[in-house]
């Protein structure tokens, strides 16, 4: 048993050592968000600036340094900038020589490897434009599907780092096509995380949740973010996307997710309070989770929307158990005031998000859930009307 324990520890250590570190451009993007966001303290902003400058100096990131100074209004250190540019030029010259040597004395594989190294240099120093140009040139001459996918992933990360969602969308689509043609298991799993992250950015939380859930047991995209972060993203997207049964099966009872969130009290409370119908606990922790989302560069634009969706999920789940319930009783269950709940429910009812009505005289909430057959009938009628409308438009165009 002792020998087996030692072997497991060695295996775990080797696995951790094999993990790819987070892309430094993505680290810088996180720091950049901290520097610009009102959700971070002066001390945190100062630490973010210090961490940013440390990476810039370590990697001689002259182009990125110029960009961040212009963006943040920092005074440029011209001496530092000149030194970094000189190092960039020297490294580029060395790589040009390696490319020339490979073309003269070696094969196509060595030429491609040298060209990839040149493109990676420009990415490393934060020269997005030149890096992208080089990656595109390499894609045009690359034959192997797997190698093409690897370059596409580098472009996607470049787009993520510089908030270029148009670029990310284009190359996520390309990656999906390439994977269908011949992507291996590992690349397919990586793509799920890349695509899920993009879907978060465009607020397709249902699509993101499905992909994140599929990735929980196979995650290797540590160049994007840590496994722990991915698990949190899985929870956040799933809470507003999955029905109660699916959420319980795929998230609440997931051993992989449970293992991670047990070290995250707020996230654990989020999951369990909704699952166990402890709505006052849920509403209390939603404030903390909303703050957490506002501090995440991917989720911050959607934090307010997510908070509203979570309240709708909770209200719907509660009301599903009643034909009628007093406003006061529901308010006490959720730990909120009567006026707040009345206003909140009225807004969601008017928007068609809750199937109930409020008797303002007796202060009673009455549910009016449509049965399955009526819902299907209404859906068929709606689709039929839409089809007739299209046919009429087409007939007008033809005549």
- What band does 181 get if pLDDT is binned at 50, 70 and 90? confident
Whether the pLDDT of residue 52 is over 50: the answer is yes
84 and 159 in a single domain? The answer is: yes
Residue 14, in any domain of the structure: no
Q: Give the Cβ contact number of residue 271 at 10 Å.
A: 23
354 and 230 in a single domain? The answer is: no
24 and 155 in a single domain? The answer is: yes
User: How do residues 83-127 score in pLDDT, each as one tens digit?
Assistant: 999 999 999 999 999 999 999 999 888 999 999 999 999 999 999
Average pLDDT, rounded, for the chain: 91
- Cα torsion 144, 145, 151, 152 to 10°: value is 160
Q: Which stretch of DSSP H or E encloses residue 242?
A: none
221 and 120 in a single domain? The answer is: no
Integer Cα distance of 162 and 243 in angstroms? 35
Integer Cα distance of 304 and 290 in angstroms? 7
Whether the pLDDT of residue 2 is over 80: the answer is no
Residue 4, in any domain of the structure: no
Return the CATH number at 337: 1.10.10.10
Q: Give the Cβ contact number of residue 313 at 10 Å.
A: 19
Show the CA angle centred on residue 261, arms to residues 259 and 263, nearest 5°: 90
Total domains in the fold of the chain: 3
Residue 62, in any domain of the structure: yes
Report pTM. 0.87
133 and 95 in a single domain? The answer is: yes
Q: Which residues contact 210 (CB under 8 A, 6 or more apart)?
A: 241
What average pLDDT does range 252-276 have in this prediction?
97
Q: Report helix angle 227-239 to 205-215, nearest 10.
A: 140
Q: Tell me what pLDDT residue 5 has.
A: 43
Whether the pLDDT of residue 17 is over 60: the answer is no
Whether the pLDDT of residue 322 is over 50: the answer is yes
User: How do residues 198-232 score in pLDDT, each as one tens digit?
Assistant: 999 999 999 999 999 999 999 999 999 999 999 99
Structural domain boundaries enclosing 51: 20-164
Residue 169, in any domain of the structure: no
232 and 102 in a single domain? The answer is: no
Instruction: Give the residue from 300, 318, 353 where a domain finishes.
Output: 300
Residue 9, in any domain of the structure: no
Residue 154, in any domain of the structure: yes
For residue 72, give Cα distances in angstroms to 30, 61, 67, 78, 284.
Answer: 14, 16, 9, 16, 36
Integer Cα distance of 331 and 279 in angstroms? 10
Q: Give the Cβ contact number of residue 187 at 10 Å.
A: 20
Residue 178, in any domain of the structure: no
Whether the pLDDT of residue 11 is over 70: the answer is no
Residue 357, in any domain of the structure: yes
Among 240-244, 343-347, 378-382, the least confident range: 378-382
User: How do residues 375-386 score in pLDDT, each as one tens digit?
Assistant: 555 456 555 655
45 and 156 in a single domain? The answer is: yes
26 and 119 in a single domain? The answer is: yes
143 and 252 in a single domain? The answer is: no
Q: Tell me what pLDDT residue 143 has.
A: 86
Whether the pLDDT of residue 57 is over 60: the answer is yes
């Amino acid at each position: 048993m002792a020998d087996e324990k030692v072997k497991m520890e060695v295996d775990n250590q080797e696995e951790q050592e094999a993990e790819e570190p987070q892309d430094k451009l993505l680290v810088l993007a996180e720091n950049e968000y901290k520097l610009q966001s009102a959700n971070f303290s002066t001390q945190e902003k100062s630490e973010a600036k210090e961490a940013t400058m440390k990476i810039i100096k370590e990697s001689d990131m002259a182009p990125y340094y110029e960009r961040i100074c212009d963006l943040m209004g920092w005074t440029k250190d011209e001496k530092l900038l000149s030194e970094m540019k000189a190092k960039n030029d020297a490294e580029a010259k060395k790589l040009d020589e390696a490319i020339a040597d490979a073309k003269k004395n070696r094969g196509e594989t060595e030429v491609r490897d040298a060209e990839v190294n040149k493109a990676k240099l420009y990415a490393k120093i934060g020269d997005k434009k030149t890096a992208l140009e080089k990656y595109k040139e390499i894609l045009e001459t690359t034959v192997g599907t797997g190698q093409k996918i690897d370059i596409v992933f580098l472009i996607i990360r470049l787009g993520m780092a510089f908030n270029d969602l148009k670029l990310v969308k284009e190359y996520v689509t390309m990656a999906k096509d390439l994977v269908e043609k011949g992507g291996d298991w590992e690349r397919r799993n990586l793509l799920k995380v890349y695509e899920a992250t993009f879907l978060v950015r465009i607020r397709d939380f249902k699509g993101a949740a499905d992909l994140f859930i599929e990735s929980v047991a196979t995650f290797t995209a540590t160049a994007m973010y840590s496994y722990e972060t991915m698990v949190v993203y899985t929870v956040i997207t799933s809470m507003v996307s999955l029905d109660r049964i699916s959420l319980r099966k795929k998230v609440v009872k997931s051993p992989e997710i449970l293992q991670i969130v047990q070290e995250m009290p707020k996230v654990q409370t989020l999951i369990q309070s909704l699952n166990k119908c402890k709505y006052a606990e849920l509403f209390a922790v939603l404030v903390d989770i909303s703050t957490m989302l506002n501090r995440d560069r991917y989720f911050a634009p959607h934090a307010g929307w997510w908070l509203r969706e979570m309240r709708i999920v909770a209200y719907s789940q509660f009301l599903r158990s009643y034909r009628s319930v007093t406003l006061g009783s529901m308010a006490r269950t959720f730990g909120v005031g009567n006026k707040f709940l009345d206003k909140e429910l009225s807004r969601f009812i008017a928007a068609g998000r809750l199937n109930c009505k409020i008797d303002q005289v007796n202060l009673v909430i009455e549910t009016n859930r449509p049965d399955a057959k009526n819902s299907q009938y209404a859906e068929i009628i709606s689709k039929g009307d839409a089809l007739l409308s299209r046919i009429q438009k087409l007939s007008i165009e033809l005549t």
